[in-house]
């Protein structure tokens, strides 16, 4: 019995290792090729690079305008995430605490909207943004707040529903106004779900491509995903630079993952299960 | 607590206004535009009735991409969820380093669709090709040059990217199953396989509801990976609906028709996902 257990565990462990290899294989291939010259890549994509040659990284770094692209990505991601967490928690709180027909209708509208694919509203949205002179970074942020609010409000709503209102009422009796009640009593209670919402926002905003490509695809404003297109023309693909650029674009994500892995895993699971 | 209407609207305002701007107004005007000859350039457009919708159904590229999308969604939903469920069972077996494996399997999900598509374009086209050459496996050669290989490349990519995510959903559910239920089944003489089939699987239904729903909507809405992996090629044969709508608008400037396609797309996605939610919800059992 014991021996069987050990054999079973080792087989499972081997399967895990094998699968892990399959999952990181593309990253390894990119890393390998990012140190090769284009000629070396043509010779073989599987061989080890002749030397640790950082030329590709240097060139990709300047062509990506790496720091500026990262700054643009960060600007959008951080601003919208902060706004989303603040505004959606406020909105969800009043939607839960005011039990009126209006609040039910508004909440239903937010919930139903998660089914709407972007392509369905893309064209009228662009034309509307154009009319309002919102084809810009701030415009993109406003629209992203609107798109993100559906999911976030659902998550906050689900959580706040189960927070008893007594504490808030007690504070109100002591003379605190509603706004103060929210910021001093409610905000600390919903820290956990706020982290979940923030993580989900960061992930979708950092990787967003289509809407930014339609609104801020101008020199100096481009985010990291927009910039990577530079290396992959329709006819010429500079895979030596391209793989270096892809590695550089993936690095911030990996750093983020390693730093807040616990929160990410918790956030994603909660986001999926409760949403 | 004294509840003022002012605070209600004040707290709701930022979300509600941006939501109106991003979703509600475009949705409503979009329905109107789908009945007009809008070209995106001129602001005045005439009402043309159902002409756009009729044209859409006559458009063979649209029909092809419709079929392609549906097939892609069906196959990917199966591969993603089967692999994800397998992974979840595997890493909950109390083996050494299971937390590390979990992290590794989930990692692709964090990488953006654009990057994933480009990276895999290199893998399936060049790396597969040289592996095929080395091992004399012809089926690995010339990927992305036919519709078939483009299709399977997309399925592989999506499976690679999404299964880690769904794995987390399934893990959460597996950990929710109380041990005493499995023990009770074991005492009653159920074999390991019977325990799995009769106890674990039915109790997993809520997670399947979520897993299927999420993969389905994500696969329908997929655009970035499609763009950077195959760009619809060869000759539009791997164009998903999202890309078909985009190209109808921005390549051929038929905004009205593109909008009609958008509306049809919404109806299809909503019908399929909602009916999926309802059917699997019915099979959930009380714990």
Domain segments of chain B as ranges? 59-282
Shortest CB distance from A273 goes to which of B97, B126, B210? B210
Per-residue burial over B9-43, b = 16 or more CB atoms within 10 Å of its CB, e = otherwise = eebbebbbebbebbbbbbbebbbebbbbbbebeee
Q: What is the pLDDT of residues A132-155, one digit of tens each?
A: 999 999 999 999 999 999 999 999
pLDDT value for A169: 87
Residues A119, B265: C-beta atoms closer than 8 Å = yes
pLDDT value for B286: 57
Shortest CB distance from B21 goes to which of A113, A146, A256? A146
Q: Give mean pLDDT in consecutive 10-residue pieces for chain A, a chain of 275 residues.
A: 81 91 91 85 80 85 90 94 96 92 94 90 92 92 94 92 88 87 91 90 91 89 89 76 90 88 82 70
pLDDT value for A140: 94
Q: Give mean pLDDT in consecutive 10-residue pieces for chain B, a chain of 287 residues.
A: 82 95 94 87 80 90 93 96 94 85 91 91 89 85 87 95 92 85 82 80 85 91 92 87 92 90 94 87 67
Residues A16, B255: C-beta atoms closer than 8 Å = no
Written as six digits, the tokens of A21 are 């290899």
pLDDT value for A168: 87
Q: How far is A247 from chain B (nearest CA, A)?
A: 9
Per-residue burial over A121-139, b = 16 or more CB atoms within 10 Å of its CB, e = otherwise = bbbbbbbbbeeeebeebeb
Nearest to B211 by CA among B156, B151, B284, B155: B284
Domains of chain A: 2-53 (no CATH), 73-216 (1.10.3720.10)
CATH class entry, domain B59-282: mainly alpha
Global pTM value: 0.90
Please name the residue of chain B whose CA is at the shortest distance from the CA of residue A15. Answer: B90
Q: How many CB atoms lie within 10 A of CB A57?
A: 17
**What span, in angstroms and rounded, lies between the C-alpha atoms of B260 and A156?**
34
How much is the ipTM here?
Answer: 0.88
Residues A16, B3: C-beta atoms closer than 8 Å = no
Residue-by-residue DSSP string for B79-141: HHHHHHHHHHHHHTS--TTHHHHHHHHHGGGGS-HHHHHHHHHHIIIIIHHHHHHHHT-GGGS
């Amino acid at each position: 019995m014991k021996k069987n257990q050990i054999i079973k565990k080792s087989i499972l462990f081997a399967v895990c290792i094998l699968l892990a290899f399959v999952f990181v294989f593309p990253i390894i291939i990119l890393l390998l090729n990012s140190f090769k010259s284009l000629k070396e890549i043509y010779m073989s994509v599987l061989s080890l690079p002749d030397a640790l040659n950082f030329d590709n990284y240097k060139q990709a770094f300047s062509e990506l305008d790496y720091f500026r692209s990262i700054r643009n990505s960060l600007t959008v991601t951080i601003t919208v995430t902060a706004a989303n967490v603040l505004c959606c928690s406020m909105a969800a709180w009043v939607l839960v605490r005011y039990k009126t027909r209006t609040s039910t209708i508004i909440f239903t509208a937010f919930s139903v909207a998660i089914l709407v694919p972007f392509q369905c509203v893309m064209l009228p949205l662009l034309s509307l943004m154009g009319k309002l002179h919102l084809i810009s970074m701030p415009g993109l942020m406003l629209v992203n707040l609107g798109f993100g609010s559906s999911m976030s409000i659902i998550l906050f709503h689900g959580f706040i529903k189960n927070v008893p209102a007594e504490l808030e009422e007690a504070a109100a009796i002591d003379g605190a106004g509603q706004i103060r009640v929210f910021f001093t009593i409610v905000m600390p209670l919903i820290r956990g779900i706020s982290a979940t919402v923030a993580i989900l926002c960061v992930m979708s905003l950092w990787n967003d491509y289509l809407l930014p490509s339609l609104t801020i695809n101008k020199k100096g404003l481009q985010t990291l995903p927009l910039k990577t297109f530079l290396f992959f023309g329709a006819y010429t693909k500079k895979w030596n630079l391209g793989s270096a650029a892809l590695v550089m674009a993936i690095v911030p994500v990996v750093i983020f993952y390693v730093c807040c892995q616990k929160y990410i895993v918790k956030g994603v699971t909660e986001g999926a299960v409760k949403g | 607590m004294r509840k003022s209407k002012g605070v209600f609207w004040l707290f709701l305002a930022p979300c509600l206004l941006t939501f109106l701007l991003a979703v509600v107004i475009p949705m409503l005007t979009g329905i109107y535009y789908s009945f007009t000859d809008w070209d995106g350039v001129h602001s005045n457009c005439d009402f043309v009735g159902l002409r756009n919708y009729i044209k859409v159904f006559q458009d063979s590229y649209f029909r092809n991409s419709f079929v392609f999308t549906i097939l892609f969604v069906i196959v990917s939903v199966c591969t993603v969820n089967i692999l994800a469920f397998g992974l979840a069972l595997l890493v909950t077996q109390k083996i050494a380093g299971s937390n590390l494996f979990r992290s590794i399997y989930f990692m692709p999900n964090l990488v953006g669709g654009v990057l994933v598509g480009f990276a895999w374009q290199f893998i399936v086209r060049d790396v597969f090709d040289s592996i095929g050459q080395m091992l004399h496996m012809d089926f690995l050669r010339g990927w992305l040059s036919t519709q078939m290989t483009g299709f399977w490349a997309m399925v592989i990519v999506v499976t690679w990217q999404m299964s880690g995510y769904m794995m987390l959903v399934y893990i959460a559910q597996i950990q929710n199953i109380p041990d005493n239920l499995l023990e009770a089944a074991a005492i009653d003489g159920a074999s390991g396989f019977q325990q799995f089939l009769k106890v674990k699987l039915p109790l997993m239904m809520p997670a399947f509801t979520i897993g299927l729903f999420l993969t389905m909507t994500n696969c329908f809405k997929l655009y970035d990976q499609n763009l950077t992996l195959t760009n619809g090629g060869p000759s539009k044969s791997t164009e998903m609906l999202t890309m078909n709508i985009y190209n109808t608008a921005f390549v051929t400037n038929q905004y009205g028709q593109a909008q009609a396609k958008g509306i049809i797309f919404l109806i299809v996605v909503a019908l399929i996902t909602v009916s999926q939610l309802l059917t699997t919800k019915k099979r959930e059992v009380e714990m």
